[in-house]
Amino acid sequence: MRVEYITVIEASERWGVSLRQVQRLLAAQRIPGAKKYGRSWMIPDDAEKPADPRKEKKLPGQSLSSKLAHLIEATSAPMPNDNPDDILNSVKEEKLRLQYECELAYLRGDFAHTMRCYEKTEGDEAAKLRASLAAVAAAISLGDYPAYLEIEAYLKGFAGAGRDRYSSAIAELALASVAVCAVAPKMVPGWLVEGDFSAFPAQVQLPYLHYLRARYFVYIGKFEVALTIAQTALTFCAQERGITLSEIYLRVVGALACHRLGREHEAARRLLEAMRIALPHGFITPFAEPVSDFGGLVEKCLEEEFPHCSNAVIEQWKCTVKNWITFHNHFTRDNITLILSLRESHLAQLVASHVPYAKIAKQFNISVGRLKNIMLEIYEKLCISGRDELAQYVLMKSKGAEL
């Protein structure tokens, strides 16, 4: 059956809208069947005028929670195994495509593109909340602390503020990912520690929540627990046909847990499984992020099967680790009282002020050896190496509070 077409001008007259409005609808791909020839658009003769989104917002059931749940469900489909970018052609709505574009850019280490995608969601709260998960990680990877603070303030406006349930849950999830990424266990929310995901809409992928929880347990030294969580969560991914971010990261965190347990052969196997899924498509970020944590294993696996990807992964790691340190320095200064316990903060302040260890130990009724061990734990939490660096955080924070 032959399809008849009309011009943009004819559609404008038929629908009673401006020529510019029809052009906007075409740019947003909201007119099914429309085709572009050179600079001209042809619209199917039987095409109906798209509904006005401003009126749709007033309809019942269009709350932020329902929009967010719909958006999450619509953007949770696995990406095709042979060509993940095909997912961009399979979705018609611009805001859905933008979410996948944001995720693909992050996986490939194009964090600036991720941030641009996030900025394009301005004005659409559901889309912005959804994209914030990738954007906050991209801001950290870029070492862009002002951008992080802006996103953090936005998320805190939803988290625990009496807003609707789902938007609060998604905002808290993004903030929880920061706490885990920044190695700040005290800032990790109780629901993540306990694995209580009942506040989240059913559309949220459980594997990603379990990945974040597994990563938390790795950082607090409970490697067997982390491995069990990762392995169990992978069974959910096994039911999917295609590539998901969660599947890649679960394999990586499982490999890291094995590495910390001294099971190097199993760690290498899990890491290579993740690489075989990700690296053929240029997804280097999952392996560039933890290079330091694996103590040479990432480089070994790359040399074994993906030597052509080795330079890209290592170069991104070199750049990202510098940016992460920049971010962490700012983050630690602003949140040191949340990262350290009250007792640790007090000890840190005394040590930073060059009070003798023997005097501090006597005051707290502990041995000097025990005090040294506690200080090593504090240095590890703050990602620093000694007293002089400690002073930059503890003493500067105290002076700032006085001012």
Residue 81 resides in a domain: yes
3 state DSSP class of 78: coil
Pairing of strands 35-37, 5-6: unpaired
CATH number of the domain residue 221 falls in: 1.25.40.10
Q: What are phi and psi of 244, to 5 degrees?
A: -125, 150
Determine the pLDDT at residue 400: 43
Is 18 found in the same domain as 155?
no
Domain carrying residue 17: 5-50
Is 312 found in the same domain as 387?
no
Q: How many domains does the chain have?
A: 3
Determine the pLDDT at residue 101: 95
Is 316 found in the same domain as 363?
no
Express each pLDDT in 20-73 by its tens digit. Answer: 778 778 877 788 888 776 667 888 888 888 876 544 444 444 688 888 888 888
Determine the pLDDT at residue 240: 60
Determine the pLDDT at residue 162: 55
Does the pTM exceed 0.85?
no
Residue 56 resides in a domain: no
Is 246 found in the same domain as 307?
yes
Helix (H) or strand (E) holding 326, with range, is helix 307-339
CATH number of the domain residue 354 falls in: 1.10.10.10
Please, what is the Cα angle at 102 between 90 and 161, to 5 degrees? Answer: 115
Residue 251 resides in a domain: yes
Query: How many whole angstroms separate alpha carbon 166 and alpha carbon 70?
Result: 11
Is 46 found in the same domain as 78?
no
Residue 98 resides in a domain: yes
β-strand partners of 6: 43
Determine the pLDDT at residue 403: 33
Residue 285 resides in a domain: yes
Express each pLDDT in 1-15 by its tens digit. Answer: 456 778 877 888 787
Determine the pLDDT at residue 258: 96
Residue 281 resides in a domain: yes
3 state DSSP class of 184: coil
- The residue from 285, 320, 355 where one domain ends is 320
Is 103 found in the same domain as 19?
no
Is 98 found in the same domain as 42?
no
* Residue at token pair 């807003």: 163
Is 227 found in the same domain as 81?
yes
350 and 358 Cβ atoms separated by less than 8 Å: no
Express each pLDDT in 244-300 by its tens digit. Answer: 899 999 999 999 999 999 999 999 999 999 999 999 999 999 999 999 889 899 999
Band of the pLDDT at 239, cuts 50, 70, 90? low
Is 44 found in the same domain as 71?
no
Nearest to 117 by CA among 107, 108, 132: 132
Is 83 found in the same domain as 180?
yes
Query: How many whole angstroms separate alpha carbon 24 and alpha carbon 79?
Result: 28
Residue 16 exposure: Cα atoms within 13 Å on the Cβ side: 2
Express each pLDDT in 133-192 by its tens digit. Answer: 999 999 999 999 999 999 999 998 887 655 677 888 889 999 999 888 877 777 888 999
Is 291 found in the same domain as 168?
yes
Band of the pLDDT at 389, cuts 50, 70, 90? confident
